[in-house]
Amino acid sequence: MDTQKVAHWVQIATGAAMLVGIGLVVWELEQSKDVAMAQLTSDGYDQYNQSLLPVMGESPSLALAKACSDPQSLTIEELIILGSYFAIVMSPIDRAYKIEQRSGLYRGLWLELLQADLPLVLLTTAGRTWWGTEKAFYPYEFQSVANAIVESSPTVGECYLIDWQRRIDEASSIN
């Protein structure tokens, strides 16, 4: 009888260990799926950005500088360049958001990136105009942050580069 009791308890312990093992395998598969989804999302955004780089040409900085200094004279070509530049600025933000939504990874990173990088787009008239036409393609959370930035920045059209240049000129004149 004692051997049967021991055998019975061994079978129960073996069954429990198998269930725990199966549970761990399922958990590991879920983790792998999350990482794979994050990698696929990241790869997709990388391909998207690579397709925008040729559109931007060799010197998108010229179009960005013109957007600050003389936005009314921007050509269609320069607007295309700026649109690609702004899309590339938004790409890592959108990527972090999608990865968080799909896998739970990078929690909160998209918001930090959005608050840091979206002002670069919204501090020019061209950027605000681009955002006005493109915002529908971005999540509502992006739009609420953008609205707060636009509302808190009363100098529509003033470019951060011009302010930067002014501060450099002031610092140079002091020395």
Concatenated DSSP letters of 18-74:
HHHHHHHHHHHHHHHHHHHHHHHHHHHHHHHHHHHHHHH-S-HHHHHHHHHH-GGG-
What is the reported pLDDT for 31?
Answer: 78
**50 in Cβ contact with 120 (< 8 Å):** no
Q: Name the average pLDDT for the chain.
A: 83
pLDDT digits (tens, 9 = 90+) for 15-58: 888 988 888 888 888 877 777 776 777 777 777 767 777 777 88
Which of 5-14, 78-87, 122-131, 144-153 is most confident?
Answer: 78-87
Q: Which of 39-48, 58-67, 121-130 has the lowest mean pLDDT?
A: 39-48
Task: Express each pLDDT in 69-112 by its tens digit.
Answer: 888 899 999 999 999 989 888 888 888 898 888 877 778 889 99
Which tokens belong to 122?
Answer: 């919204």
Residue 114 CA to residue 149 CA, distance in Å, equals 11
Render pLDDT for 110-121 as a digit per residue (tens, 0 to 9): 999 898 888 888
> What pLDDT does residue 77 have?
92
Whole-prediction pTM:
0.68
Contacts of 33 (CB under 8 A, 6+ apart): 103
CB atoms within 10 A of CB 116: 10
Distances (CA, A) of 174 to 1, 33, 39, 166, 168: 98, 58, 51, 13, 10
